[in-house]
Amino acid sequence: MHFYIFLIKRYLGGRGNKIFSSNAWLSFIGVFIGCSLLVVVLSVFNGFQQQIRESIFKFDPHIIIETRKGPGKIDDWKDWRSTIKANLGDLVSNVSGMIQSPALIRKDDQIDQVLIRGVEYAEDITNKTRYVLPNDFPKNVEPTNLKGVPKGDYCLVGKELGTLLDLHVGDYIQLIVPKGQFTTRVGVEPGMKSYTISGFFASGNYQYDSRVILLSLPTAQGLFGTGDTVQQLAVKLTKFSDLKKVMLELYKILPYDFSPRSIEQEHRNLFSALKWEKIIMTVIVFLFIIAALVGIIVSTSNVIRSKRKDIGILKALGASDQEILIVFTMIGFLSGLVGTIFGVAFGIFLSMRLEWLIGTLEKIANTLGSFYCEHVSACYWVKVELMPRDVYYFDHMPVSIDASLLHPLAVLAIFLAGMAALIPAWAAGKLQPAEIIRSSDT
């Protein structure tokens, strides 16, 4: 063991017992950068995925039950709500009636297309004129202390829609919806009604925040003129992991006329795209690590080439093939090991400070750019935004460090570093002292 440590320490650090020789630094830096990038990319992708998931899962019911013909009327929805609650018990946190339909919004001269969602709010027992907002309702609302909605002709509007149409709390809007039965004589009769905006919500999902208007279920029923019926039953689960189990139970409980649809089925394409995006990015970044491993092969080969005479001497002194193999494999392996550990640690640090880093880079780019335009060339500097908020619709950089994924990747990177070093070290172990000494003499 002393023999190995003695040689590895010197070949890794060179004379003067430095930490790394130039060759070892080459291996270290390659793996370090690769691992750091891998951690940052995976953390950002995880964060994006989680943010999108959360924004959808928080706002949407986990399961929607409709009639098999599509969003038609469910007359006996209260009975079915009780049946589902009784059968599924603690598996579900809430079962409620819901109406969801496209509509037109009119504010002064502006008309836009929106989606109306009529949801069941709980009664406020302290104030009979109000509903209480559910606990999982998006926190980011205006006014910020909004806890409930007044009963009657009031609505909650998506924050982005409010910005687009310049809406404010207390403003009146008109909603135009198809009403009644379709007839060949007049088609569908439109229903139109005015509502007061009681607040704005921000789910974190641009699609919802720019399109959805929330009404209480009785208000929505009044608008569509459906009486005490709903189009859908909305199920929220206590634990999302029970989704499959609950779906199976619902298939058992519900008659054939009803069709339950899970949130995963609803957003299958999006989640599938996110998953594939993450896999592809992981593969791409892992290819960078593979390139770094080629660096380990090259640098270990360099060390072996420069120490060829030493290998001949060591073998003439009695070192075995295996001892030479271990010494030179360990040199590459240790560079990879240290590179991976520091790379992962730096990647985690970078991920945690990514928002600050992006902000700083933006500031530097904008300062330099405006200085250039003002003092060097007469031009107009367009402000650089590395993470445009209106495109990505996140008020912060969503980063989620997934240790369960990083751990196997780091272990794999370390293992591959050892394998990469093994290739040239194997050849070193097979060198014959006679050949080396003869070639050194000439």
Partner 1 sequence: MNSILSVKNIKKSYRDGEVTVNVIHDINMELARGDFVSIQGASGAGKSTFLSILGAILLPDSGTITINGKNLEDYSREGKIHEYRKNHIGFIFQSHYLMPDFTAMENVMIPLLMRGIKNQAAKQKAMEILSKVGLKERANHYPSQLSGGESQRVAVARAVAPEPDIVLADEPTGNLDSHNKKIFIQVLEDLQKSRDLTVLVVTHEQDLAAAAGRRYFMKDGYLSQM
Tokens for 202, please give them. Answer: 């921000």
Question: H or E stretch including 297?
Answer: helix 268-306
User: Is 139 an interacting residue with respect to partner 1 (CB under 8 A)?
Assistant: no
User: Is 310 an interacting residue with respect to partner 1 (CB under 8 A)?
Assistant: yes
CB of 335 to partner 1, least distance (A): 17
Question: H or E stretch including 65?
Answer: strand 63-67
User: Is 422 in a helix, a strand, or coil?
Assistant: helix
User: Is 439 an interacting residue with respect to partner 1 (CB under 8 A)?
Assistant: no
**157-190 core/surface letters (b: 16 or more CB in 10 A; e: else):** bbbbbbeebebeeeeebebbbbeeeeeeeeeeee
CB 281 within 8 A of CB 45: yes
Among 227, 318, 388, 408, binds partner 1 (CB under 8 A): 318
Q: Which is nearer to partner 1, 2 or 252 (CB)?
A: 2
User: Is 10 an interacting residue with respect to partner 1 (CB under 8 A)?
Assistant: yes
Among 22, 265, 272, 320, binds partner 1 (CB under 8 A): 320
Q: Which is nearer to partner 1, 299 or 351 (CB)?
A: 299
User: Site map for partner 1, 289-308, x if CB under 8 A?
Assistant: ------------------x-
CB 216 within 8 A of CB 131: yes
CB 333 within 8 A of CB 424: no
Among 15, 185, 252, 375, binds partner 1 (CB under 8 A): 15
Among 91, 254, 313, 401, binds partner 1 (CB under 8 A): 313
The DSSP line for 162-221 is HHHHT--TT-EEEEEEEEEEEETTTEEEEEEEEEEEEEEE--S-HHHHTTEEEEEHHHHH
Among 90, 109, 390, 441, binds partner 1 (CB under 8 A): 441
From the list 88-96, 126-134, 204-212, 316-324, the region that binds partner 1 by CB under 8 A is 316-324
Q: Which is nearer to partner 1, 15 or 69 (CB)?
A: 15
DSSP state of 123: E
User: Is 106 an interacting residue with respect to partner 1 (CB under 8 A)?
Assistant: no
CB of 20 to partner 1, least distance (A): 14
Q: Which is nearer to partner 1, 142 or 321 (CB)?
A: 321
CB of 333 to partner 1, least distance (A): 20
User: Is 117 an interacting residue with respect to partner 1 (CB under 8 A)?
Assistant: no
User: Is 11 an interacting residue with respect to partner 1 (CB under 8 A)?
Assistant: yes
Q: Which is nearer to partner 1, 409 or 428 (CB)?
A: 428
**228-256 core/surface letters (b: 16 or more CB in 10 A; e: else):** eebbbbbbbbeeeebbeebbebbeebbee
Q: Which runs of consecutive H residues, i.e. helices, occur in 60-76?
A: none
* 405 CB-side CA count, 13 A: 17
Question: H or E stretch including 119?
Answer: strand 110-119
CB of 336 to partner 1, least distance (A): 22
From the list 6-14, 206-214, 245-253, 254-262, the region that binds partner 1 by CB under 8 A is 6-14
d(CA 232, CA 236): 13
- Sequence-ordered list of residues with C-beta below 8 angstroms from that of 145, at least 6 positions apart, any chain: none
Among 86, 186, 317, 376, binds partner 1 (CB under 8 A): 317
User: Site map for partner 1, 395-434, x if CB under 8 A?
Assistant: --------------------------------------xx
Stated length of the chain: 442
CB of 310 to partner 1, least distance (A): 5
Give the footprint of partner 1 on this chain (CB under 8 A): 2-3, 6-7, 10-11, 14-15, 307, 309-310, 312-321, 323, 433-434, 437, 440-441
